[in-house]
Structure 1
Amino acid sequence: MARYTGPSCRLCRRENMELFLKGERCYTDKCAIKRRNYPPGQHGQGRSKTSDYGVQLREKQKVRRIYGILEKQFRAYFQEADRMKGVTGENLLSLLERRLDNVIYRLGFASSRTESRQLVRHGHFTINGRKVNIPSIQLKVGDVIELREKSRKIVAVTDSLEAVVRRGVPQWVELDRDAFKGLIKTLPVREDVTTPIQEQLIVELYSK
């Protein structure tokens, strides 16, 4: 499976905002944005004005990096969102939010989407009682996500669940911390995505 293996903090600096790619580190003074709040590279502090196309491209790259998706898969999500009824941009965000790795992150079982993806790949979760290992599975209303019994002593998971109070759990999911279980109550809507995203720019970019 293709994936990005470079430095995560470089991506945050390139997008000029905290993407929370490294979990708890992003909340400390070690965060790269707090220490070097300018784009990476030799000419990072002297970049010229960005064109309209550049603004659209940066927005698409930012969303891709937030959810940890490569270009081919991201374009497939956009095409699916475009075929769905409703607003294309909002459909796109809903599809991204309903990925299994994102839901696990939102529920607080992992401190970052990268960590949640690894947990899924290693078979630590079940959906409606069935073991899964595909991070991109699309969840639907009523699905129950549960951490397997043998995985409940993983230190990273317990630490993340203790810290979930600071990050908060979205209204469209429900977390039962004692049972290590989560439930999809409703489909996510635009208001549930609190990350500053201008999805219309992505629609304009792919509509050229």
Structure 2
Amino acid sequence: DRQQGITGANLLILLERRFDNVVYRLGFAASRKEARQLVNHGHFTINGKRADIPSMLLREGDVVQVKEGSRNSAKFQEIKEQAAYKTPPEWLSVDVDNLIGKVLAKPTREQIDTAVNEQLIVELYSR
């Protein structure tokens, strides 16, 4: 069950698909740290089911939604206002008014704007 392709690019793609990172990319959190905490505290559902594990890998077609009970909180009203000014990556879509996001596709290396030389990371861990 090995993944095909370039190891470093695959690593970045896997990291990009993490639940906490998707929450951040959708604009539902100001930072990755905040996204991780919001996920841990159970403020989101994936495909209608409660989800509170930040490291979950999301797949194409997954729908991330702020839970009904959390939507009206001051925190999420503030997030809703800020998210309106953010543009999600091409592989995600977001409905800011309803605080719903969807994974449209797997991200490609070109769609990940992280300035990192992943080959150096692979070389470090392959020793």
Task: Give the alignment's TM-score, normalised by structure 1.
Answer: 0.58
Between Structure 1 and Structure 2, the one with more helix by share is: 1
Contact 1:110 1:156 in 2 (8 A): no
Shift of 1:166: 4.9
- CA RMSD between the two structures: 1.6
Letter in 2 for 1:154: S
Instruction: Find the counterpart in structure 1 of residue 56 from structure 2.
Output: 137
For each residue in 1:151-180, what CA deviation from the matched residue of structure 2 results, as whole angstroms up to 9, or x when unmatched? 012333332332235543101000011121
Instruction: Find the counterpart in structure 2 of residue 128 from structure 1.
Output: 47
Percent identity, aligned pairs only, is 51
Instruction: Find the counterpart in structure 2 of residue 168 from structure 1.
Output: 87
Distance 1:177 1:167, change over 3 A: closer
Letter in 2 for 1:126: T
Q: Paired residues, what number?
A: 127
Structure 1: gaps spanning 5 or more residues: 1-79
Contact 2:43 2:66 in 1 (8 A): yes
**1:157 counterpart = 2:114:** no
Distance 1:147 1:113, change over 3 A: same
Distance 1:96 1:133, change over 3 A: same
Structure 2: gaps spanning 5 or more residues: none
Find 2:112's aligned residue among 193, 198, 205: 193
Q: Which structure ranks higher in relative contact order (CA pairs < 8 Å, sequence separation ≥ 6)?
A: 2
* Whole-angstrom CA distance in 1 between matches of 2:81 and 2:52: 24
Contact 2:80 2:97 in 1 (8 A): no
* Whole-angstrom CA distance in 2 between matches of 1:200 and 1:168: 28
Instruction: Find the counterpart in structure 1 of residue 10 from structure 2.
Output: 91
Distance 1:167 1:197, change over 3 A: farther
Of the two, which has the highest radius of gyration?
1
Between Structure 1 and Structure 2, the one with more strand by share is: 2
